């Protein structure tokens, strides 16, 4: 799979997918709601740490965001990739993103309905 390198603030990050900060996503994981730091079609990073999750844990999550006056949302399985206690962030990768969740994220990126 192709990887893309982005450099910002003097640091290079290797990612498969371009990360977005906007539109802002709200994400529900295990009964708690978090704001997204950034997200892509491959995963997301949350502002906060769920007290019951550990790296490699798989969990169902629900996300929603607003673009062009339309709220889009989806539900998917995700795996915890990293917990950064210093930054108070949790990173996830999507596991088998369902078509409807993919379409919701794509709509948040493009602002278009399919």
pLDDT tens column, 45-59? 999 999 999 999 999
Give the domain ranges of the chain: 19-110
The pTM of the whole model exceeds 0.85: no
Q: Which CATH superfamily is domain 19-110 in?
A: predicted glycosyltransferase like domains (2.40.10.220)
Run of H or E including 41: none
Question: Tens of pLDDT along 53-95?
Answer: 999 999 999 999 998 888 999 999 999 999 999 999 999 999 9
SS3 of 84-102: the string is ECCCCEEEEEEECCCHHHH
CA gap 36, 46 in Å, rounded: 4
> Which DSSP symbol is given to 48?
S
CA gap 60, 98 in Å, rounded: 12
């Amino acid at each position: 799979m192709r990887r893309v390198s982005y450099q910002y603030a003097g640091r290079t990050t290797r990612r498969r997918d371009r990360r977005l900060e906007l539109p802002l996503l709200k994400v529900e994981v295990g009964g708690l709601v978090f704001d997204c730091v950034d997200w892509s079609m491959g995963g997301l990073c949350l502002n906060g740490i769920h007290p019951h999750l550990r790296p490699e844990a798989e969990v169902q999550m629900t996300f929603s965001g607003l673009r062009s006056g339309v709220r889009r949302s989806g539900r998917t399985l995700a795996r915890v990739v990293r917990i950064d206690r210093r930054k108070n962030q949790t990173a996830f990768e999507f596991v088998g993103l369902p078509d409807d969740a993919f379409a919701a994220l794509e709509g948040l990126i493009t602002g278009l309905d399919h």
